[in-house]
Amino acid sequence: MSLSFVLAGGGTAGHVNPLLSTALALRERGGAVRAVGTSEGLEADLVPEAGVELSTIVRVPFPRRPDMDMLRFPVRYRRAVAQATEILGKAGADAVIGFGGYASTPVYRAAKALGVPVVVHEQNAKPGLANRYGARFAEAVALTFDSTPLAARAGVTQTVGLPLRPAIADLARTRARGADAPRLRAAERFGLDPGLPTLLVTGGSLGALHLNDVLTSGLPAIRRAGVQILHLTGRGKDGAVRAALREAGGYGRYRVVDYLLRGMEEAYAAADLVLCRSGAGTVAELCALGLPGFFVPLPIGNGEQERNAADVVAAGGAALVRDRDFDLTAFERDVLPLVGDAARLEAMAAASRGLGHVDAAERLADLAVRIGGEKG
């Protein structure tokens, strides 16, 4: 008899993609899967597109200051828990897997009331409120990073890594075999020389204006160094970079792309070093791929991006400069020489790969199957 799993989470692609990768792994094990999210998050589009059934509950952010939202919170939260309870009942859930975010807390609460076992997956090095709550009674807590200060109060805790998009996991396995084909295909797609060391610059789908500004101010130095660049500027942010290139007289080894809706694995395949932010997904992907990173953490939030990178930086697989310290001087001093330092990049790649988890989706699915099966 197949087991039934309800996966809760969403909001950003960084939360939805691990959920979907885990759903696929569960299906491969014969499990029935359903996702729970909100209608406002990216899961509203991404989950149905992936062929996974989505049930939505009201979005109930925890109020952080005394205002009208705090007065409305108890009623809205009870409504969300009631909706989650109905979803779990109809699904006949054998286990819940929560990935954090607004949808997870009501689902955790409903699961506890119904006696449905909970598996918490925490992707960040600094856990969020929802997963800290779920860990109090979870049968298992699965971590992306060894250093994350979260543990199941009475259950098991283990590091499984971050469930990767299948295309990224496939590339990681191919790179581990030493195959050159992905790099050659990527070079052809982006118009790069596969024989030259390549710096990939990316700020994710929205881009990172600060990184873009430093790169454009560094065009003379890039030209002098002869470094090959693949710059993913962020959706709609390529115009300023292209204009700066024209004003600088052009540079044939500099390729500009605004955003890759699909095919990020090809950008990774072309790269020898990645200059980027340090969201949990990016850090996990680079480690799985054995790619050296030069991280400039996003300087907002609660400092989770710097913490996400801490393990791989300590291991020697990446370098890090805080956003306020990343300027043209840092770029010329620290980044450009590194692109051409094959020996150091090779050592960094080995250290990064040593922390990678290519099979995180499978490991998380196996954990959930064991927990759900014990219930039955």
Say which CATH number the domain at 35 has.
3.40.50.2000
Q: Are residues 178 and 309 in the same domain?
A: yes
* Tens-place pLDDT, residues 170-212: 999 999 998 899 999 999 999 999 999 999 999 877 778 999 9
Q: Are residues 362 and 273 in the same domain?
A: no
The reported pLDDT for the residue numbered 35 is 98
Per the model's pLDDT, the better-predicted residue between 41 and 287 turns out to be 287
The reported pLDDT for the residue numbered 23 is 98
Q: Are residues 155 and 172 in the same domain?
A: no
Q: Are residues 192 and 61 in the same domain?
A: no
* Tens-place pLDDT, residues 271-290: 999 999 999 999 999 999 99
What average pLDDT does this structure show over 337-356? Answer: 96
> Which residue do the tokens 């859930």 mark?
93
Residue 51 predicted with pLDDT over 60: yes
Average pLDDT, the chain: 93
Per the model's pLDDT, the better-predicted residue between 12 and 67 turns out to be 12
Number of domains in the chain: 2
Residue 1 predicted with pLDDT over 60: no
φ, ψ for residue 300, nearest 5 deg: -130, 180
Contact 188, 309 (CB under 8 A): no
What average pLDDT does this structure show over 343-356? Answer: 97
The confidence band for 300, taking pLDDT boundaries of 50, 70 and 90, is confident
Q: Are residues 128 and 248 in the same domain?
A: no
What average pLDDT does this structure show over 14-18? Answer: 89
- The rounded percent of the chain whose pLDDT value lies above 70 is 96
Q: How far apart are CA 42 and CA 47, in angstroms?
A: 8
Q: Are residues 132 and 205 in the same domain?
A: no
Residue 371 predicted with pLDDT over 80: yes
Q: How far apart are CA 189 and CA 268, in angstroms?
A: 12
Q: Are residues 138 and 120 in the same domain?
A: yes
Residues near 35 by Cβ (< 8 Å), separated by ≥ 6?
6, 7, 8, 9, 10, 19, 23, 43, 47, 52, 53, 54, 55
The reported pLDDT for the residue numbered 180 is 92
Residue 70 predicted with pLDDT over 70: no
Where is 53: in which H helix or E strand? strand 53-56
The reported pLDDT for the residue numbered 61 is 73
Cα distances (Å, whole numbers) of residue 192 to 173, 242, 304, 364: 23, 17, 34, 37
Residue 163 predicted with pLDDT over 70: yes
What average pLDDT does this structure show over 350-355? Answer: 96
The reported pLDDT for the residue numbered 72 is 73
Q: Are residues 58 and 123 in the same domain?
A: yes
* Tens-place pLDDT, residues 111-133: 999 999 999 999 999 999 999 99
Going by C-alpha positions, the residue among 311, 9, 361 that lies closest to residue 148 is 311
Q: Are residues 202 and 349 in the same domain?
A: yes
Residue 249 predicted with pLDDT over 60: yes
Domain range for residue 119? Answer: 4-164+358-375
Does the pTM exceed 0.85? Answer: yes
Q: Are residues 180 and 277 in the same domain?
A: yes
The confidence band for 337, taking pLDDT boundaries of 50, 70 and 90, is very high
Q: Are residues 206 and 149 in the same domain?
A: no
Per the model's pLDDT, the better-predicted residue between 10 and 368 turns out to be 368
The reported pLDDT for the residue numbered 243 is 95
